């Protein structure tokens, strides 16, 4: 980190002993240790705050993206892309209406045929082709 070797540490120790004196070295070391601890704590707190800010910023972006995905209406997007004027939709609706009417008429006719079937003698219908040889 600071790239301090054993030679530099030895030089610092000798200068400290000369300047401070042997009696005051324990008090100076305690004070230096206390300051180093405070600086480390401040650095750790600063680092954690920066991490929290980054995490919150990323979470806000993720929340925004999720809300955009949830609000996305695929059907509307496809309609706007394929048929922005609505002309194609109207044409298809016009084509479907007669088909629906024909379907309902066919269902009504099928119901009336089912009611008429009950009146017909089914045994006579099945034996008639046999008698003719078909």
Identify the domain containing residue 24 by its residue range: 13-72
pLDDT band at 102 (very low <50, low <70, confident <90, very high): confident
DSSP state of 118: T
**DSSP H helices in the chain:** 6-20, 25-71, 74-82, 87-117, 122-132
Specify the pLDDT at position 41.
96
Residue 103 has pLDDT above 90, yes or no: no
Of 40, 43, 21, residue with least CA distance to 32: 40
Whether residue 111 lies inside any domain: the answer is yes
Whether residue 132 lies inside any domain: the answer is no
Whether residue 67 lies inside any domain: the answer is yes
Rounded to whole angstroms, what are the CA distances from 112 to 39, 121, 128? Answer: 95, 17, 24
Q: Is 121 helix (H, G, I), strand (E, B) or coil?
A: coil
Overall domain count for the chain: 2
pLDDT in tens, 109-123: 877 776 655 555 555
Specify the pLDDT at position 125.
55
61 lies in the same domain as 104: no
Whether residue 79 lies inside any domain: the answer is no
**pTM of this structure:** 0.38
Rounded to an integer, the average pLDDT of 14-35 is 90
- Residues 31/16, Cβ–Cβ less than 8 Å: no
């Amino acid at each position: 980190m600071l790239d301090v070797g054993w030679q530099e540490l030895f030089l610092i120790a000798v200068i400290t002993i000369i300047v401070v004196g042997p009696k005051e070295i324990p008090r100076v070391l305690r004070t230096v240790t206390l300051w180093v601890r405070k600086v480390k704590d401040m650095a750790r707190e600063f680092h954690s705050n920066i991490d929290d800010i980054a995490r919150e910023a990323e979470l806000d972006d993720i929340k925004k993206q999720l809300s955009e995905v949830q609000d996305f209406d695929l059907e509307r997007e496809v309609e706007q892309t394929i048929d922005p004027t609505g002309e194609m939709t109207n044409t298809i609706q016009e084509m479907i209406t007669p088909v629906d009417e024909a379907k309902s008429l066919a269902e009504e006719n099928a119901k009336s045929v089912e009611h008429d079937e009950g009146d017909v003698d089914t045994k006579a219908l099945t034996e008639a082709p046999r008698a003719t040889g078909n």
